[in-house]
């Protein structure tokens, strides 16, 4: 069954902790993370990698040194010697999310921020935009971000690198299964090729993850 992990990160990591986590990653991933200009971006990417590695170690009872995480030509991570393992990472603001399954999976989280909903007419699918107009003002923004994250999670599940405009996603529900969660002021969407979703999100922290990988 699909498993969802959530890590909340709002303060800068201690430099020793940062270096320890970095040491568990492949050289290419280390170099990619160190190229980030903003420490927030570097740490979100770093902790996303930690979620991947710690969860794989825990679920399959393997050591971190037993596997490598590669990226395909579209930048999607995968494990070469574990073809039955599919995972996806997303982060926004203070939240870093991970989805793991034995089938392709996509996950996307976005913070609900004010925006000009008139943009929805040119961005959303026609039926989604019409549905939004029927809603009360407080619900319109949530609806917009729900549609946005559904589309993103679907594209991430496919992993094709092709970006689909929201206006072309009318038939998403005919080709995949989706579920949504609201966490604080964030909307989370998960897309899978099956409908066996777990309604429970597993909340974790940096120390718990490190204990799984050490």
Domains and CATH numbers, the chain: 3-213 (3.90.470.20)
**pLDDT number for residue 136:** 87
Average pLDDT, the chain: 89
**pTM for this entry:** 0.90
Q: How far apart are CA 164 and CA 158, in angstroms?
A: 11
What is the band of 88 on the pLDDT scale with cuts at 50, 70, 90? Answer: very high
* Average pLDDT value for residue range 185-190: 94
Lowest-pLDDT choice from 33-42, 126-135, 169-178: 169-178
Q: How far apart are CA 71 and CA 37, in angstroms?
A: 21
* Average pLDDT value for residue range 113-137: 82
Strands (E), 93-185: 95-101, 105-111, 177-183
Q: Is the pLDDT of residue 51 over 70?
A: yes
Strand partners, 95: 8, 92
Which residue has better confidence, 113 or 46? 46
């Amino acid at each position: 069954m699909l498993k969802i992990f959530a890590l909340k990160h709002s303060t800068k990591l201690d430099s020793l902790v940062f270096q320890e986590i970095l040491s568990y990653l492949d050289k290419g991933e280390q170099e990619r993370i160190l190229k980030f200009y903003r420490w927030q971006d570097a740490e979100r990417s770093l902790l996303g990698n930690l979620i991947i590695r710690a969860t794989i170690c825990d679920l399959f009872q393997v050591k971190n040194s037993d596997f490598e995480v590669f990226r395909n030509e579209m930048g999607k991570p995968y494990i070469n010697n574990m073809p039955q393992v599919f995972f996806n990472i997303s982060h926004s603001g203070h939240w870093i999310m991970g989805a793991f399954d034995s089938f392709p999976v996509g996950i996307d989280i976005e913070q609900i921020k004010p925006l000009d909903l008139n943009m929805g007419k040119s961005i959303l699918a026609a039926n989604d935009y019409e549905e939004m107009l029927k809603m009360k003002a407080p619900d319109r923004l949530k609806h917009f971000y729900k549609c946005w994250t559904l589309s993103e999670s679907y594209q991430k599940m496919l992993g094709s690198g092709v970006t689909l405009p929201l206006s072309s996603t009318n038939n998403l529900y005919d080709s995949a299964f989706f579920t949504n969660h609201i966490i604080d002021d964030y909307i989370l969407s998960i897309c899978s090729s099956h409908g066996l979703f777990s309604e429970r999100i597993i909340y974790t922290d940096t120390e718990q993850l490190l204990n799984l990988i050490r």
